[in-house]
Amino acid sequence: MFNPAFSSAAMLARKNFMPVINADKAGSDLRHPASKAARIFCDSATRSDIEPLLRAGLINGITTNPTLLKKAGAKSWDEAKGIMKDLCAMLNPFPVSLELTELTEDKMVKQAEELGALGSNSVIKVPAGGYPAVVPGGDPFTGFKVVRKLWERGIKTNVTLVFNTTQAFWAANAGASYISPFLGRVPDYMAKHDDPDPKKPGGNSLYWLDDTADAKDRKTANSEYVASGGERRDAGSRLIFEIATVFANYQITTEILAASIRNPVQLTECLLAGADILTVPAAVLKTVADHPLSDDGMKNFLEDSKAFSG
C-alpha cells in the first residue's frame, strides 16, 4: 500500500493557505463538515453516466477528452461540440474540461477560444508535452506556451498528460488552473518497459543512474522516489504525493487533479497523497458505497429486525 515517505506538514500548510476548495459550488454551505474536502469529478462525456451522479450530489465537475466524446456518440467535430455544449449547460456552474485537438500553438489558442465559448464553466485541456512525437520538428514547449497565452486571456486550463513533477511545476508556472497526473499509466509503463537486470532496482525504465562519475546509462524521466521508492503499483500515488509536496513548499495554488484512477482503493491513496480533485470513471464511482462487510451487516440487520415486525 502507498506509504508517504515525507512529512505531511508541507501539504497541511498548503491546505491552510489555499481557499476553500468547494467555494465555487453554487449555494455551497461552508458549514458542511467536508467543505474543504477534495472534489470529485466524473471522467466521462456520456450524459446517462453523468446525470444520475450529478443529481445525487456525488460529483461537482467532469473531465472529457476526444476518446470519451467518441464513446458518447460524436462522429464529427460539430457533433462533439454539440455534446460539449450540452455538458457545460448541464454541469453549470461546475467545471467541464474540454480537450484541444489541434497541435500547433496558434491553432490551439484559436480552438481554445472556440471551446471556451461553449460555456462559462469550460476549462481547456492542454497536453503538457509530446508535441515533437506527433508534429515533425514540433516545439516541445507548445503546451506551456498555450497555457501562458490562455492565462493572459483569463481562460482556465487543465494541463493533461502529466507524468512527472517537472511537467507539473512548469505547467503551474505557465498559469495552469489544474494539472492532471495520470497515476494509473505510470506503473503500466514500468511493467511494460522495466529492465529485468537484477542489478537495477524496480522502476528503472523511468529512473536509473549508474553510480559512477562517467555514467552514461541514465534514465531520469521521474525521480527515484516515484520510480523506485516502493511497489511498482504505487508509483502513481507516489507521483501525486511528490507533486503535492512541491506545490506545498512554494504555496502553488494550481490544483492537482488525479486522473487515470482504476479502483476505489486508488481514490483513498490519492486522498492520502494530497490530491485536490479526483476524476473518476463512472463505473468506479458506482462502487464507492460497496464493501463486503456492509453487505453482511445489512443482511444481519434485516434478519434481526424481523423480530420487531408485525
- Measured CA distances, 6 to 3, 16, 20, 110, 201 (Å): 9, 18, 24, 42, 21
**Is residue 42 within 8 Å of 53, Cβ to Cβ?**
yes
**Could you give the CA distance from residue 26 to residue 54 in angstroms, rounded to a whole number?**
13
Does the active-site annotation cover 125?
yes
**Could you give the CA distance from residue 98 to residue 69 in angstroms, rounded to a whole number?**
10
**Is residue 235 within 8 Å of 181, Cβ to Cβ?**
no
**Could you give the CA distance from residue 108 to residue 215 in angstroms, rounded to a whole number?**
40
Identify the burial level of 150 via C-beta atoms within 10 angstroms of its C-beta, where 0-12 means exposed, 13-18 middle and 19 or more buried. buried
**Is residue 116 within 8 Å of 148, Cβ to Cβ?**
no
Nearest 5°: phi and psi at 34?
-115, 30
**Is residue 151 within 8 Å of 174, Cβ to Cβ?**
yes
The Cα angle at residue 36 between residues 31 and 41, in degrees rounded to 5: 115
Cell numbers given for 238: 507516489
Catalytic pick among 125, 149, 192, 216: 125
Cα 303 off chain centre by: 43
3-class DSSP assignment, residue 85: helix
Active site residues: 125
